């Protein structure tokens, strides 16, 4: 660990690397072929923090120089899916896209694990069958509420509320009327009838600040009525 910190520190104080990049475009009939090369002329920071590829020096050619094909070969390759994220990479993506805050990153991932929505295989986060089913259902039932841009905007508004720049009562009332309530109506239309609660919920004494109707008590393991 000490060596890594030392190398990173020295690299940050070193000069930029200087790379000579070359390209050769050849033509055979109507087909154009591109070859790329690069040669590191000054390592700079890369001497201590290896992040450059190997040299690939191309031969010196002149414009319109005729070339003779010596060998031809092909290699079969298949398109590979993008690699799975590690937990650290997943946190970086969440931070970059404005989803959650530092205090919620770890608890969010832990909750997904506890509910068996995701698993970690060879240090990579992978969704379980249950997680994919839940994701598929939420994408149909609550498409707006699970939208990344919507979540990031909501997080930004919560930050404004925390600093006193936004009135929380007006915001949460508008959010409930414009976003949450319509989303629940849409979800109830999609939700299968056998998944809905058969027994009526007990009415609370607290009235909804929007419609002034009595709110419904929802059982919770954490809160007892």
**Distances in whole angstroms, Cα of residue 59 to Cα of each of 20, 36, 45, 69, 111:** 13, 11, 27, 14, 57
Asked if residue 28 is part of any domain, the answer here is no
Share of the chain above pLDDT 90, in %: 25
Q: Is 94 exposed, middle or buried (0-12, 13-18, 19+ CB in 10 A)?
A: buried
CA dist 99 and 156 (Å) reads 9
Copy the structure tokens of residue 6: 């030392």
Asked if residue 171 is part of any domain, the answer here is yes
Of 97, 128, 159, which closes a domain?
A: 128
CA dist 224 and 164 (Å) reads 32
Asked if residue 180 is part of any domain, the answer here is yes
Asked if residue 16 is part of any domain, the answer here is no
Of 128, 160, 181, which closes a domain?
A: 128
Lowest-confidence segment of 18-32, 44-58, 98-112, 164-178 by average pLDDT: 44-58
Instruction: Choose between 13 and 206: higher pLDDT.
Output: 13
Asked if residue 175 is part of any domain, the answer here is yes
Which residue segment(s) compose the domain that 172 sits in?
142-191
pLDDT digits (tens, 9 = 90+) for 34-58: 888 888 888 888 888 877 777 788 8
Whether 118 and 152 map to the same domain: the answer is no
How much is the pLDDT for 195? 52
pTM of the model: 0.52
Q: Is 58 exposed, middle or buried (0-12, 13-18, 19+ CB in 10 A)?
A: middle
CA–chain centroid gap for 215, Å, is 36
Lowest-confidence segment of 34-43, 158-167, 184-193 by average pLDDT: 184-193
How much is the pLDDT for 126? 93
Whether 122 and 162 map to the same domain: the answer is no
- CB of 157 within 8 A of CB of 165? no
How much is the pLDDT for 140? 86
The mean pLDDT value of the chain amounts to 84
The residue-averaged pLDDT of 132-161 equals: 89
The band of 119, judged by pLDDT with boundaries at 50, 70 and 90, is: very high
Pairing of strands 18-28, 31-42: antiparallel
How much is the pLDDT for 217? 64
pLDDT digits (tens, 9 = 90+) for 87-112: 999 999 999 998 888 889 999 999 99
Asked if residue 165 is part of any domain, the answer here is yes
How much is the pLDDT for 164? 92
The total domain count for the chain is 2
The residue-averaged pLDDT of 15-42 equals: 88
Asked if residue 184 is part of any domain, the answer here is yes
144-166 exposure pattern, b = at least 16 Cβ within 10 A, e = fewer: ebeeeeebeebeebeeeeeeeee
Whether 117 and 158 map to the same domain: the answer is no
Share of the chain above pLDDT 70, in %: 87
How much is the pLDDT for 223? 52
Asked if residue 8 is part of any domain, the answer here is no
């Amino acid at each position: 660990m000490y060596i890594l910190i030392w190398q990173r520190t020295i690299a940050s104080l070193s000069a930029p690397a200087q790379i000579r990049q070359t390209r050769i475009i050849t033509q055979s009939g109507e087909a154009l072929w591109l070859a790329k090369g690069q040669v590191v002329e000054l390592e700079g920071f890369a001497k201590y923090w290896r992040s450059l590829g190997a040299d690939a020096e191309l031969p010196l050619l002149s414009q319109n120089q005729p070339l003779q094909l010596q060998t031809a070969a092909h290699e079969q390759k298949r398109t590979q899916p993008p690699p799975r994220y590690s937990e650290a990479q997943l946190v970086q993506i969440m931070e970059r896209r404005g989803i959650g805050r530092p205090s919620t990153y770890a608890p969010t991932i832990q909750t997904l694990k506890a509910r068996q929505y995701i698993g970690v295989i060879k240090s990579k986060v992978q969704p379980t069958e249950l997680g994919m089913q839940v994701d598929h259902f939420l994408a149909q039932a609550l498409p707006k509420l699970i939208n990344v841009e919507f979540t990031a905007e909501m997080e930004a508004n919560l930050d404004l509320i925390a600093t006193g720049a936004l009135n929380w009562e007006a915001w949460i009332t508008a959010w409930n009327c414009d976003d949450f309530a319509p989303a629940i109506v849409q979800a109830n239309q999609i939700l299968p009838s056998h998944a809905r609660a058969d027994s009526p919920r007990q009415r609370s004494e607290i009235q909804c600040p929007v419609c002034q109707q009595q709110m419904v008590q929802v059982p919770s393991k954490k809160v007892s009525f």
